[in-house]
Amino acid sequence: MRVSVPTIITGLGAPKRTISPAAAVERIADFLAPGKVTLLTGAGVSVASGIRAYRGKDGRYMNPNYQLRSYLGYPPVRDTLPNTSHYAIAALQYASYIPRLVTQNVDGLHHKAIAHLWEPDHIQKQILELHGTLHRVHCKRGHVVPRNTFQNWLSASNPQWKVFVDNLEKTGQKPRTNPDGDVELEGVSYADFVVPECPQCTLESQQSSFVRGSVIAMLHNVEQSERVFVLGTTLATYSAFRLVKRALELRKPVMLLNVGPTRADGLSSSLVLRDVVRAILGSRASQDSAIVHLLQSGIHQPPAEDHEIISRNT
């Protein structure tokens, strides 16, 4: 586990140091205790939920027809449960120490972790999705469709692929899925996959095609906060890096918590965040029933070191 607190002048070039979980808890708690923090999370936060983090420098689609790959990858992400880190973060949100959460993740797990405490409209205001979400899609003219509805449309338009997905579920097989819901496939032809038109556009006699959620500007949230906490991301994508860059330009304190790729490191991160919540909230962590529930919730099921990549010859 590596925790760094960069200074404005020398922080970005500071050497990485490994410290104990106890020291990490103290340092992070001291950083977060004043409140008014913007939290930026990345794929590493969801690894303990079984969602594989990116291993490369970016998460760009390497195949132009990503609708098929996402069609296969959406069900596993949809059914994934929040882990202990998501619930620890939710406790800090609920206690108003983290009023702004910006996530690079499209899995919706931050939303699931706090959904029983906050109304959907409030969640949408407090949790901002930098790269959009897997749980809604929109056409190029802006008509929004719930992802489950769109998934059903894809199934109806591609019955042969629906059979393939049903067989995966029956056998318990899971294709290797990236954190954006994109599945890695080998030996697959995309030529026969049909993407349905937007019904609303069809009624209006307009051309359309469905796309992912658009990128949302988050600089305002960084500017309104007093400090920035970065968790579970390498900042390889510029959309995330520019938020940290802006914070440093404004001379705001920035802390980065980064964990290694091993299962032991992932467990340590979860325990660290829970202990951070207890350190900050004190007796409230054991007396507030909502926070007690949050700190007792969450799974820890990181993905296997190597998934079998399922291929389909067509």
Catalytic residues: 131
Q: Alpha-carbon distance 294 to 110, whole Å?
A: 12
CB atoms within 10 A of CB 285: 19
Structure tokens that stand for 227 in this block: 């400090």
Cα 9 to Cα 164: distance, rounded to the nearest angstrom? 55
Nearest C-alpha neighbor of 211 from the set 65, 31, 9: 65
Please choose, from the candidates 214, 222, 244, the residue with its C-alpha nearest in 3D space to the C-alpha of residue 42.
244
Angle at the Cα of 261 from the Cα atoms of 259 and 265, rounded to 5 degrees = 50
CA 12 – CA 248 distance, rounded (Å): 10
The 8 Å CB, 24+ separation contacts for 258-262 are 258/1, 258/2, 258/3, 258/4, 258/44, 258/232, 258/233, 258/234, 259/1, 259/2, 259/44, 259/232, 260/1, 260/2, 261/53
Instruction: Give me the residues paired with residue 38 across strands.
Output: 100, 228
Contact between 201 and 195 under an 8 Å Cβ cutoff? The reply is no
